Structure 1
Amino acid sequence: MSLVDETHQRFVAKVGLQANETPRSMSFCAHAMVENCVMEVPDARLDPRFCDNPLVTGAPHIRFYAGAPLVSPQGAPLGSVCVISPEPRVALSDHQRSGLTVLADAVMSRLEARRVLLTKQAWEEAAEADPAASEKRFRVLADAMPQMVWSTRPDGYHDYYNARWYEFTGARPGDTEGNGWNGQFHPDDQAHAWDLWRRSLETGEPYEVEYRLRRFDGQYRWTLGRALPIRDEHGKITRWFGTCTEIHEQRLLSEDKDLVSRELSHRIKNIFQVIGSMIRLSSRGEPTLKAYGLKLSEQVTALGRAYDYVRVQEGTSAMTLQGMLREVFGAYNMNGVERVRIHGEEVFLSEHVMTPLALTFHELATNAAKYGALTSSTGTIDLTITRHDDLLQFEWEESGSLVLHSTERRGFGSELIAASIERQLGGRFTREWLPTGLKATATIPFVEDGAV
């Protein structure tokens, strides 16, 4: 993690790097921090920006670089979270690129939380000193901050706003004291903001909410509000200290990304439908291939439904694993008989975990239809899902198979499963042929909130 100023980049946190800082002229991060996404340099020797850089021609001999920008809520570039390698690489995977972006977001959240905490500590220290002098110092400090700053009495009565608040809102001093602040919010956000504020007052928990705040020109701008309580030596709240940070541009950018994502999802869904239609039309002219074409079309449709199931719920924190698997296995049920049975408690997982799992179990079901239990009209499969602390385990057991030994060569399907479970999700996958048929076990890391 590097922070870049006018003359240097400083490595605030690092792993595997000895240097503590370098001149800004050598900094890769100075370029990455002004990008809108992860910046990748596959081979720095071939990049005109860096080919003559001392960090490339000399130690640590950087070849590959990838950095996610660190940008303040006000839009100021601060530095980046990056990875470097002495070996060239083609590119990060989507999963790795997403992970680097999430890590950068987490760093910025910690930095902002640290900023609020330090300001809170400054307030506490000032309160312990001479009251008149400390009040004056605090007001100077608060007025110099780029954020809007406010404080309240223990009961939540707002009695102070810094100059930035009045500049942004155009309110006159005294207009927003007490509960008048809520009137500055968009009507659709007022009830939600007030409910969260009331909860914080009752519980003493930190306050955090996104809302639209009316600017002096009447335009509503998305804002992030945060507040922490100040307590005395007995734990009693003596004041609340809070900030408001405009995040309007970031919010609009996020909404634009969601719009593009939904459009891409729509196009991919159409591709599934087109492929299924092409298979059905092509097989009609070949009677010997009609049954095979129908089955293949059903499988493509099932995978399309699984993809659609994941994307429909985009914007939520997690999705149900069993719901997705029922979509994948739908094509293998016959006449209302559930041939692939799912057991175990419902599990909520994020989209980036669902996709490789969908590919894995679609491949297992396809193989079962070609080599295993689903080659028989009476064959069945039981998939049991269990949680063991920080692990999630899947047991796939086939019965009634006409083929009781492995006839599958290690080809694309095996490589796909290995890439999905082992390399992408960091798990383990094993398979063995029992007298009753195939038994496969997959184990992946799992934590309570669904993030893997």
Structure 2
Amino acid sequence: MKLSRYPLWPAHRAADPSLTDEGLRSRVIAAYGADAVQDDRELTQIVEFAARLCDVPVALVTLVEEHRQRFVARKGLAKEETPRSTSLCSHAMSGRGPMVVPDASADERFAEMELVAGENGIRFYAGHPLVSSEGVPLGALCVIDREARPEGLNALQREGLEVLSRAVMRRLTSERDAAYAENKIEVSELRTRQLAENLPVYAWAANTEGVVEYANPALYDFVGADDLSEFDFDRLVHPDDAEELSAARKASRDDKQRWEAKARLKRKDGVYRWMILRAWPFVMGDEEPETWFGAAVDIDDLQTVSDSRDLLARELSHRIKNIFAVINGLISLQGRKHPGAEELVKELSGTIRTLGKAHDFVRPFAGRTESSLNGLITELLTPYGRIGGDRIAISGCGCPIGEKAATPLALIFHELATNSAKYGALSHSNGQLRVEIIDRGADVAVTWRETGLNPQDSAEDAEARGDEAGEGFGSRLLRTAVEGQLTGKFTRRITEDSLEVELLLPCEKLEA
């Protein structure tokens, strides 16, 4: 049975007869902590007042255990306990209200008891049940006299005994609740400590000055220390990481917010290990934090793998760049054998260089800090003029792009740019190119708009670019890249003095 906390057992209601098992009663009585309330001042005041109220020499608060009755508060009696076999309270504790015995020597239930028999034995007894919140009978608040009292208790005394018994139960229950709360705190602290001691991280707690007040066994072992006074993070941190870590800790203390940093800590053998360090304040309400909790996760092995992968990726990138250069050289050499293929060689070389730029663009270790559609288009159009001037303008969202999308995007905008330089706006001094990028949620719309075209060249333009009736190679390349590789949509509109190409590209493909 789970012990209740509130409320008290209802007045004028007998203890639950199903809850009289001695094992259960022993557990419930133990929860009240009899040792903690033995001769308690408040309970002593209650029994003294009960004795005066009922005009008797003896008053007791008894807890009836399996083999004894214990007097946790007493007036007029030196003993702290007697055997249960001599207990009148064991009878009183199961009743509905006070059990009143005018003359115990004349009552067949009690006449033969050791405490009743004889000239100085108990004669008058009145006891009110003490019942736990669950309905378990515990004992009684009783008053005793050596002289018989045929009239028993008057109405005021009966009522007073009931009120005082409720006060006794409130005092006992408060003690039980306090013990319960303390036990919960101890269990919670134990669970937290065991959690900290068994987590595969280095955990600590420090005061506001940064002095470590607790460290889990893993941290003791890492540092090789036996005493908290040996923990000094300033000594453990690698000199190259100290300034950044110190700044993070200071800003965190000033703002009373958590901090996180990546740094190397020195192990007991002198080897530095990469760690992710975190610390956060323990805050209650509006109070200033007095304790900071921290944890460190060893990521040195992952860092080594990551560094190795970066090194491999750089080497592969370098070799790919070399391959582009070799291919470009081969095209140039072979082109010299065919004097009529200069234009084709030039186009192929330009395409290879564009693929090289796309390759660089999506490699953060190549020195770039962002990979966006806006940035890629800017990169490809820069050779044709100043971006943002009268001739070329790019506007709209950045829209991040991934490695898989970079190559087809580079081919698309390289084809558009070279065609514009040959036949379109970039081939005329008064031509203008506007590129607008619009984020539509799941898709990105790119509008490539050329104006100021030479009407005299429209026939040549249409043949090179392809018209609505039949597409040229360039338009087929665009459509294949947009619709085939990026699963987008490609539309083109040509007039005598303008060209507009609209691309609708799914974001998930761009970011792949």
What letter is aligned with 2:305? L
TM-superposed CA distance for 1:313, in Å, is 4.6
TM-superposed CA distance for 1:342, in Å, is 3.2
Comparing 130-139 with 293-302, which one deviates more in the overlay?
A: 130-139
TM-superposed CA distance for 1:204, in Å, is 3.1
Distance in 1, Cα, partners of 2:279 & 2:368: 25
Correspondence list, 1:261-340, <5 A: 261-311=313-363, 313-314=365-366, 318-319=370-371, 321-330=373-382, 333=384
Instruction: Determine if contact 1:371/1:408 at 8 Å carries over to the other structure.
Output: no
TM-superposed CA distance for 1:167, in Å, is 0.5
- How big is each residue's C-alpha offset from its partner over 1:335-393, in whole Å with a ceiling of 9 and x where there is no partner? 99989723226837354365553333223334546775567686553223455788754
What letter is aligned with 1:347? G
Distance in 2, Cα, partners of 1:254 & 1:315: 17
- Cα gap change, 1:221/1:428 in structure 2, threshold over 3 Å: closer, same or farther? farther
Distance in 1, Cα, partners of 2:402 & 2:265: 32
What letter is aligned with 2:321? K
- 1:144 paired residue number: 198
- 1:88 paired residue number: none
Instruction: Determine if contact 2:222/2:267 at 8 Å carries over to the other structure.
Output: yes
What letter is aligned with 2:198? A
Give TM-score, length-normalised by structure 2: 0.53
- Cα gap change, 1:302/1:216 in structure 2, threshold over 3 Å: closer, same or farther? same
Correspondence list, 1:5-44, <5 A: none
Correspondence list, 1:24-173, <5 A: 134-154=188-208, 156-173=210-227
- 2:264 paired residue number: 212
Instruction: Determine if contact 1:303/1:362 at 8 Å carries over to the other structure.
Output: no
What letter is aligned with 1:349? P
What letter is aligned with 2:414? H
- Cα gap change, 1:206/1:283 in structure 2, threshold over 3 Å: closer, same or farther? same
**Match 1:441 to one of 498, 502, 505:** 502
How many residues get paired? Answer: 317
Distance in 1, Cα, partners of 2:435 & 2:386: 20
Instruction: Determine if contact 2:282/2:291 at 8 Å carries over to the other structure.
Output: yes
Distance in 2, Cα, partners of 1:336 & 1:285: 38
Q: What SS does structure 1 have at the residue aligned with 2:471?
A: coil
- 2:18 paired residue number: none
Distance in 1, Cα, partners of 2:256 & 2:406: 37
Larger radius of gyration: 2
- Cα gap change, 1:280/1:351 in structure 2, threshold over 3 Å: closer, same or farther? same
TM-superposed CA distance for 1:244, in Å, is 0.9
Comparing 212-221 with 152-161, which one deviates more in the overlay?
A: 152-161
TM-superposed CA distance for 1:446, in Å, is 7.0
Distance in 2, Cα, partners of 1:337 & 1:135: 64
Distance in 2, Cα, partners of 1:339 & 1:280: 35
Give TM-score, length-normalised by structure 1: 0.59
Instruction: Determine if contact 2:373/2:400 at 8 Å carries over to the other structure.
Output: yes
Distance in 2, Cα, partners of 1:360 & 1:204: 51
Comparing 180-189 with 312-321, which one deviates more in the overlay?
A: 312-321
Q: CA RMSD in A?
A: 3.8
Corresponding position: 1:360 with 2:412: yes
**Match 1:408 to one of 452, 458, 471:** 471
Instruction: Determine if contact 1:380/1:398 at 8 Å carries over to the other structure.
Output: yes
Q: What SS does structure 2 have at the residue aligned with 1:302?
A: helix
Q: What SS does structure 2 have at the residue aligned with 1:160?
A: strand
Distance in 1, Cα, partners of 2:247 & 2:318: 37
Distance in 2, Cα, partners of 1:354 & 1:278: 24
Instruction: Determine if contact 2:381/2:387 at 8 Å carries over to the other structure.
Output: no
Correspondence list, 1:380-395, <5 A: 380-386=432-438, 392-395=444-447
- 2:483 paired residue number: 418
Comparing 135-144 with 255-264, which one deviates more in the overlay?
A: 135-144
- 2:450 paired residue number: 398
- 2:82 paired residue number: none
- 1:196 paired residue number: 248
Distance in 2, Cα, partners of 1:284 & 1:335: 33
Instruction: Determine if contact 2:205/2:213 at 8 Å carries over to the other structure.
Output: yes
Distance in 2, Cα, partners of 1:211 & 1:336: 41
Distance in 2, Cα, partners of 1:181 & 1:387: 47
Which sections of structure 1, spanning at least 5 residues, go unmatched? 1-126
Q: What SS does structure 2 have at the residue aligned with 1:319?
A: coil
**Identity fraction in percent:** 32
Corresponding position: 1:251 with 2:295: no
Distance in 2, Cα, partners of 1:303 & 1:170: 54
Correspondence list, 1:362-377, <5 A: 362-368=414-420, 373=425
Which sections of structure 2, spanning at least 5 residues, go unmatched? 1-180
Instruction: Determine if contact 1:318/1:351 at 8 Å carries over to the other structure.
Output: no
Instruction: Determine if contact 1:391/1:443 at 8 Å carries over to the other structure.
Output: yes
Instruction: Determine if contact 1:360/1:420 at 8 Å carries over to the other structure.
Output: no
Distance in 1, Cα, partners of 2:270 & 2:419: 62
- How big is each residue's C-alpha offset from its partner over 1:188-237, in whole Å with a ceiling of 9 and x where there is no partner? 11111111122222223332222111112111111111223322133753
Distance in 1, Cα, partners of 2:286 & 2:274: 37
Q: What SS does structure 2 have at the residue aligned with 1:217?
A: coil
Distance in 1, Cα, partners of 2:482 & 2:320: 22
Q: What SS does structure 2 have at the residue aligned with 1:264?
A: helix
What letter is aligned with 1:343? I
- How big is each residue's C-alpha offset from its partner over 1:245-296, in whole Å with a ceiling of 9 and x where there is no partner? 1111111111111111111111111121122222222222322222332243
Distance in 1, Cα, partners of 2:345 & 2:335: 5
Distance in 2, Cα, partners of 1:151 & 1:300: 58
- Cα gap change, 1:291/1:355 in structure 2, threshold over 3 Å: closer, same or farther? closer
Instruction: Determine if contact 2:360/2:366 at 8 Å carries over to the other structure.
Output: no
What letter is aligned with 1:439? E
What letter is aligned with 1:408? E
- Cα gap change, 1:165/1:321 in structure 2, threshold over 3 Å: closer, same or farther? same
Corresponding position: 1:341 with 2:406: no
- Cα gap change, 1:236/1:393 in structure 2, threshold over 3 Å: closer, same or farther? farther
Distance in 2, Cα, partners of 1:290 & 1:133: 84
What letter is aligned with 1:148? Y
Distance in 1, Cα, partners of 2:399 & 2:326: 31
